[in-house]
Amino acid sequence: MEIHLSPPGGHGDDGGRLTAMQFVSGLQGVKAVAFDIDGTIASSTLGYADVGYFEYVLAALLSRINSIALGEALEQTLSAERQELDRDPFRAARALDVPLALYRRELAEVQRRHLVIHSDAVRLVRFLKARGYALVVATNNTESRAWAVLRAAGLSGWAASRYFDAVYTSGRTGCRKSDPAFYRALMADSGFKARELLVVGDSVKDDRLSPRAAGIGRSVIVNRDKRAGGQAGIMVRDLMAIVKHG
């Protein structure tokens, strides 16, 4: 199994192939690791859309509490979200007088049934944290949704984590991960230099090419679909392969 570690600021694929056993030495100089969430730490069997299970769970509760049609409740939910910073569904719940504890409980049950938690990613997070690496989240999701998914993975509470020091979202950085400016903003805010960062994710575009364009040369891409092993940029099927020999 091979892992791609491009030299910081490097271009192309030549000279960047390391075996898993060699990878630990490749971490020399790395101080922080930026983790993607969706597809890397957890995956939703419900798919991903602008209107997803966060909204439908809240709408279902609103419908039940106020005895209104689900469609009307969903319209009210979306309207309330649009009034909140970062379309925060938890703030929307408060604005709609839906008890936050009830919303969280219902949401957690949906996540229990429909979120696939990738144990290799969870183990890697804990492994790196125990060895003193700073960990941050880099996601296109919103902050409150990111915390909720991390909580489902056992890596945070609803708004804080013992593992992750910060959550960088498109709202916080002003752009999506496909824009190298996302990673430049992350570095400017965190204080870490490009050579000190490793990016872990599942998207070649967002988690390898974009950080590389921002000067971050180290990235690990996971793809757990064995049938896709020949695609460019697919490096590991199990993230713990990175460190299992270390």
Determine what percent of the chain is predicted with pLDDT higher than 90: 73
Say if residue 32's pLDDT is above 70. Answer: yes
Q: What is the pLDDT of residues 78-118, one digit of tens each?
A: 999 999 888 899 999 999 999 999 999 999 999 999 999 99
Confidence grade of residue 226 (pLDDT, cut at 50, 70, 90):
low
Round to whole Å and give the CA distance between 65 and 33: 43
Statement: the pTM of the whole predicted model exceeds 0.75:
yes
Of the listed ranges 40-44, 64-68, 122-126, 234-238, the one predicted with least confidence: 234-238
Confidence grade of residue 222 (pLDDT, cut at 50, 70, 90):
very high
Give, in order, the Cα–Cα distances in Å from 214 to each of 9, 110, 121, 137, 183.
8, 37, 24, 17, 6
Round to whole Å and give the CA distance between 99 and 76: 16
Say if residue 153's pLDDT is above 80. Answer: yes
| Per-residue confidence (pLDDT) for residue 244, from 0 to 100 | 61
Confidence grade of residue 241 (pLDDT, cut at 50, 70, 90):
confident
